[in-house]
Amino acid sequence: MRVLLVSDVHTDKAAASLNVNVGSFDNPPNRHGLAHFLEHMLFLGTDRYPEPGAYQLFISEHGGKHNAYTGMEDTNYFFDVDARYLGAALDRFARFFVAPRFHPEYVERERNAVESEYRLKLKDDNRREWEIFGEQVEPSHPLAW
């Protein structure tokens, strides 16, 4: 693991990001969208903070915002928050990667959310180019669909 720390005692905001070296290229055959689906599921509670939405509420109540994205080779999770609450925010954030809950009752909802995001991008020209490219490459290559 590599860690980059940037500190400025004069700022009122703190931020963190964690990059996981797993992305869409790592989806198993016939499981397109799995990495993106797991990105969504991680936000839905952990062992210490089991309530879905608790993390999001904590971050927003303490002056911050959060998000994540799934790329082809990696998935990135990030947030910022009022600097006074960095420790508490990091504790909540870290639990995603240690002990996520994966509530079964949210599986279908998140599957639909990922599908919806996919469908929204279908008309994007860059996305279309990637789809065509994915159909043309050698089937064993990670870019193949």
Q: Indicate which residues carry an active-site annotation.
A: 39
Helix (H) and strand (E) counts for the chain?
Answer: 5, 3
Q: Single out the residue of 57, 56, 58 nearest to residue 67, CA to CA.
A: 56
DSSP state of 138: -
- In this structure, what DSSP letter does residue 105 have? G
CA distances from 13 to 3, 83, 96, 105 (A): 19, 5, 22, 35
Residue 116, CA distances (Å) to 1, 69, 106, 122, 123 in order: 33, 15, 15, 10, 13
Asked whether the beta carbons of 96 and 46 are under 8 A apart, the reply is yes
Which secondary structure element, helix H or strand E, spans residue 34, and what is its range? helix 34-42
